[in-house]
Every structure is written in C-alpha cells, then in structure tokens.
Chains A and B, each alone.
Chain A
Amino acid sequence: MSVSKLTLKRDRFEAKTKQFRTKIKFDQWKGWVYLAPCIALLLVFTGWPIVNTLAMAFQNGYDTMEWISGIDFTIGIDNFLKVISYSGFKDCLFNTILLCVITVPISTILALLIAVCLNSIKFLSRFLQTIYFLPYVTNSIAIGMVFAAMFNMVGTAFGGQNELIQSAGIINNILGIFGVEPINWINEGSGYWENIFVMSFYIIWNALPFKILILLGGLQSVNKQYYDAAKIDSTPKWRVFTKITVPLLSPMIAYVVITGFIGGFKEYSSIVGIFGDDMGPTGDPRRLNTMVGYIYNFIDERQGQASAAALILFGIIFIVTMINLYVSKKKTHF
C-alpha cells in the first residue's frame, strides 16, 4: 500500500470519528433538553429541600432565631440532641418500629400465599386480579375512615322517625355472633394494643396488593419445568412451595421486604385515616404517633428539629435497608 493511500485511509477514518463524535455530542445535548423539565422540578422540589434539611438540622438554635435576618448560626448537633431527649420521640420510634416488625413479615407471607393461590386459579383470574388490586388504587384516608367505621364500638345511625340509635361496627357485630362482648378497638378509652391491632390489620391489608403484584409477576416468570420435574420426583405440595417456589422467588421476596420496611418506617397517613390527625384515640392524642408524624408536628414551628428528625429517620431506614440487602444477598440465589 502506498503512502498516499494510507493517508487517504487515515483521513477517512478521522472524518468518520469526527462525524461520530459530533453525533454523540448532539444526542447528548438533545437528551439534556428532553430531561430539563424533569430535572428542574426535581431540583426545586427534591434537591433543594434535601440540601436545606441538611443545613437546618445542623444549625444550632435555628428554631428560635430563624426570624432574625442576617444571623450566623453555629454549626452543631443541638437539634439532634433535643429530638432524642424529647420524651415523645421515643414513643414515635417505638410505634414505628413495632408496626414495621408486625406488618412487614405478616403481609409478605400473606401476599406470598395469595399470589401462589391466584397463580393456580384459571377461572375468573382476570376478575380476581382486578379485585386484589383495588386497595392499591384507593385513597388511604378513605380506606382509613371505612376501617374506623368497621372497628367502631358504638356507631350512630338514624332509625325510624329520625330517632338516634346506637350500633356497633361490623367487626364487633361479627364477634357478637360468636358471643364475644364488643371490644373497644379505637374509641375513647381504648387500649394501646387494640389500637395497634387495628393499625396492623389496616396496614397489612393495604400493603398486600403491591406485594401480590410483584410476587405474582415473579411466579409467572418461573420456568414451569421445575414444577414438572418436582412432579416426576413425587414432591409433596408443601415441599414444592418451600423448596422450589420460595427459593426461586427469593429475589422478589427480598425486594418486597426491603420496600416494605422503607414504607413501614414512613407510616403516617394510615394512622391519620383511622384516628384523625390527633394520631391517637380521643382523650389520648399522639399515642400512635410515628416518626413521620413527629416530623409533621414540628414542621411549622421547629423546623430545625423536624429536619434533624427527618435525618434520623433517613439514617434508620438506610441502616435497615443495608441489613436487608446483606441478609438477602446471603439468602437469595441469583
């Protein structure tokens, strides 16, 4: 090959790479334009608040002197110390963790069983899939109000001639059939564990659809041959479930548990739904307050402490998620 031919080849090569480069640049530029509205909104409503939360949480005395302009705050952890020493905070933390620990395992196991059942039903499967998904698309405050009515000890209704009569909620009525005295679930003077029972019941019910959706999707992607192989090996049904279905679903189960814990630590609107924004039964406000409830309580007047509480919550969720990931890495197989 002569020298001139070589140069020609090189020139052509360079021209091509140049073309390619400009193409990339142009595509990048286009990409940024398409993303701009989304990025702008994210920066304003997510990015800036996070930065601001960090700043407020670490400024000592922010809550009392915020209104004085031009003041230089000292940087420190006063806000965190105040949050931790506040007596209500421990209750909030306890309530939050308690609800998480109760609801996440139960709802995961229930969702798994329901998903396996749904997967094996051919008849009406579309209809059932719509039904089980309803809680997911229904407003949680509205569901909470319905649950509040269901667990009422004495509700009110109008009888003939607009006479006010008293009637118990449906749960107490059902219990009544079995001769159980009406239980004060959520009304004035109700016990703490009754409240927790109702909350857990509601949260589990509300958490099912998403989990079922994920697990059902996982089930449908499992190779049917494993089940044929299990049949040939005369595997009992329960062993098929524990030895084949659950291990093969383990990545989805891990995902559901992790998101379940993250959601559980942010529990708030479900409690408002049932108890109102007092976060507790009449006469004992804030008994069922949670971490997020705590943050909301302070957000108007003591933003520094609210920010600190938010960061503490973030820290907890972060640690729990890390533990979850670590465990699931050891237990899942793919």
Chain B
Amino acid sequence: MKVVLQNLTKIFPSRNKKAGGEVVAVNDFTFEIPDGKLVGLLGPSGCGKSTTLYMISGLQKPTGGKIFFGEDDVTELSAENRGVGLVFQNYALYPHMTVKQNILFPLENLRGEDRLTKEEMLERAIYAAKLVQIDDLMERKPSELSGGQQQRVAIARALVKMPRVLLLDEPLSNLDARLRLQTREEIRRIQKETGITTIFVTHDQEEAMSISDMIVVMKLGVVQQIGKPQEVYDNPTNLFVAKFLGTPPINVFDGEVKDGKLYIGGAAVLDVPGADDQEVVVGIRPEGFVLDENGPLVCNLKNVEVMGRDVSIVSGHDSSLSPIVRSIIDADNKVAVGTETVSFTLKSHKVFIFNKETEERIYFEV
C-alpha cells in the first residue's frame, strides 16, 4: 500500500489568543511513499515529524492537504476506520491485560465479515508474537516485561490486524544502546518479512540511516530533503541536512570562492570549477581529509584518538565554526607525535559548499 501525502499542512492555533502566534507544525508536505518501503521521518524535536505521523494515523486532523492510502482518499477518515497500526513512543500497552490479551485486543474489535473465530484469532496472535519473538511471554502483564519486550509486544499488537500501514513513533528512544541496535535490526527484519509499508519517526540520524529505504529530513515543519539515506548523506541540499546527518558530525568552516578555487583561511584548499566567486560556508565530512605533509589545509593538532580500524585526529583551525575539527583516517597512516600542526588535502566529493545567507548548496564540478 503506497501512502501519498499531498500538500499536507497542520497549524496549531495559539493557546493565548491575545499573544497570537499560531504554530505551523507541518508546512506543505508532499511525498509519495512507495509500497512496502521503510521510511524514516528525521529531524530535531519540534520539526513536525510526529505530527505528520499522527496525521497519517488519523489521530490528528490536517489543517490542509490530503492523505491517500493507495488510491483511497483517507483524509476525512477517522483513526478507527483507517486500519493503520501504530506503535506509541511509550508503547501504551494496556496495563491490566496480559501480553496475549493485548495482542488479541485489536482482533476482538473486528466486526462483520472481518470477524475471526476464536481459534483464528489465537493463531494470528501467536503468529504475530512469534514474529517479534515474544511467544513465550504470552501470560505476563506489561509491568513484568523489560522495555525491549514491551516494545515487541507493542509491535505485535500493531501488526496482528495486518494493518495497511505501520507507523512507529520514536520506537527506540526508550531502549538502552545495546537493545536499540538489536531492535532496529528486528524492525527491519519484521518489515521485510511482512512487506507492510512502514513509516517511523526518529530524531536519531544513525537510526534512520541504518534501516530506512528512504529518509525524510524535516526542520521546523518544512521538508528539507527526501531520498535514500546514502544519497542524502553524500549529496545534502543545504547546510542543515549536511549538519544533521553523520556521526561524527560534518566539520564547518568559513570560506571563500575565488577564481574557481576554494579558500579556507587564505589557503586555496580545493578546485571548485563552476562555482561563482562569493563568501561561503564549507562543510567537510570527517572522512574527507587525507593526511599530506604538503597539504594546503593546516590545522593545529590537539589530540589523536586511535579506535582500532580508524584514527580520529582532533585539531583546531581559526576558520572553523566549531572549536574542534575532527577527521577520520585509516589507522595505517602514522601521525607524527610531537608535531604542532597537521596538514591535509581534501577529497572533493566529501566537501560541500553552501551560500552564506541562504545556506543552500552551491554545486561545483567534481
């Protein structure tokens, strides 16, 4: 089931009428989610990603725009009739029911033709429980489960009625780091197995990048970029997206383009044919640095962190917009100990330049 959002807009009226200031939570969001894909809505808190999710679920009504499931316009349909599965951030498992009762609950609500017999219901519930590997916990109450187990129960409850669309609201935020890694793989596996179009919300870019087929980066209600995770990472359309994706984060410098060359702190660090002369903001991915004794970018060496496979060089530069410049290079390269400075050349496809005012990407020929 593909999901189409057409000019979707949500405006929250201001609480204090005199003070004014309504909040545009989601602004003119248009996007088609292909059938059977896993899509991550990504952005800092307050960017409207959860509001978008709740509008798709039907719990919130859009102020403008339309939502389609396949060819059906579901904009006016209430949450009860949309047939979506939603996993809440805090799971919202019914505390007075056992795991089994929780999973059975959506099935028991079915009426008319869709109504299953008791045996069929149980079969489906056990199937869903097996899918998320909690079939041995069926008689427990939610309070007797760990966070990760509760999470699985919530997913099973959302899946058991075979929803048209599965929605996950910050599904991993309540789990510890280890469980988070494991669970996100689980979500990926379950989504692949069931083939249900899945949309999930997260503020953790790593989470979104690692399991999504597509990501949507949002900021203050406006969609910044949509695409495959690697494409968005390799080709950000503006400074916000470049900064938001990637750990360690991108290094940002003040710079200038003159005569087809990019200058940082007076040194010409890279040829940027096709870019007009202007002051720019330069973003360099940590993996975009190459150690070179005669390299044009000279930084003050602060620290070298060896992390097995890689070496992380922490340095400083006067033009850098943050106090440290972090670069990651192969552990094969030896950094001379005791030196004050370290020099780099840059990989041109890991360097992005942005307009200083609009922060939009300025493209150059690589």
Contacts and interface: CB of A to CB of B under 8 A. Distances in A.
Interface in A317-334: 333-334
Given A225-B90, A228-B88, A239-B109, A234 B80 contact: yes
A283 B105 CA distance: 59
B104 to A, nearest CB: 11
Contacts of A333: 95-96, 141
Interface stretch (A39-47, A181-189, A240-248, A288-296): A240-248
Interface string A32-62: 0000000000000000000000000000000
Secondary structure class of chain B's binding surface, majority of residues: loop
A333 B143 CA distance: 11
B81 interface: yes
Nearest to B89: A225
Given A248-B96, A333-B95, A232 B85 contact: yes
A231 B79 contact: yes
Given A232-B79, A232-B84, A226 B105 contact: no
Given A225-B88, A225-B90, A228-B59, A233 B105 contact: yes
Nearest to A233: B106
Given A226-B92, A226-B94, A232 B59 contact: yes
B109 A235 contact: yes
Q: Most chain-A Cβ atoms within 10 A of its Cβ — which of B81, B96, B141, B161?
A: B96
B197 interface: no
Interface in A124-148: none
A75 B207 CA distance: 80
Nearest to A332: B96
B86 A232 contact: yes
B57 interface: yes
Nearest to B114: A234
A228 B106 contact: no
A236 B109 contact: yes
Nearest to A240: B109
Contacts of A247: 94, 96-97
Interface string A189-231: 0000000000000000000000000000000000101101101
A8 to B, nearest CB: 43
Contacts of B81: 234
Contacts of A250: 96
Q: Give the contact-size bracket for chain B.
A: 20 to 34
Contacts of A232: 57-59, 79-80, 84-86, 158
Given A223-B92, A228-B88, A243 B105 contact: yes
A223 B92 CA distance: 8
A235 B108 CA distance: 9
B59 A234 contact: no
B84 to A, nearest CB: 6
Interface string B44-86: 0000000000000111000000000000000000111101111
B92 A231 contact: no
B59 A233 contact: no
Nearest to B110: A234
Contacts of A236: 109, 111
A232 B56 CA distance: 11
Interface in B264-323: none
Interface in B102-154: 105-106, 108-111, 141
A233 B161 contact: yes
B69 to A, nearest CB: 14
B274 to A, nearest CB: 51
B96 A229 contact: no
A242 to B, nearest CB: 12
A229 B90 CA distance: 11
Given A228-B59, A229-B86, A234 B109 contact: yes
Contacts of A243: 94, 105
A25 B158 CA distance: 58
A79 B230 CA distance: 91
A235 B94 CA distance: 13
A205 B108 CA distance: 37
Q: Most chain-B Cβ atoms within 10 A of its Cβ — which of A225, A233, A235, A236?
A: A233
A228 B88 CA distance: 9
A334 B57 CA distance: 30
A131 B88 CA distance: 38
B87 to A, nearest CB: 9
B80 A229 contact: no
Contacts of A244: 94
Q: Most chain-A Cβ atoms within 10 A of its Cβ — which of B84, B85, B95, B111?
A: B95
Contacts of B111: 236
A35 to B, nearest CB: 38
Contacts of B86: 228-229, 232
Q: Which 3 A-B pairs have the closest CB atoms?
A: A333-B96, A233-B106, A225-B92
5 contacts: A229-B94, A232-B59, A233-B106, A243-B94, A248-B95
Given A228-B79, A233-B109, A239-B108, 18 more contacts: A225-B92, A226-B94, A228-B59, A228-B88, A229-B88, A229-B92, A231-B78, A231-B79, A232-B57, A232-B58, A232-B59, A232-B80, A232-B84, A233-B106, A234-B79, A235-B105, A333-B95, A334-B95
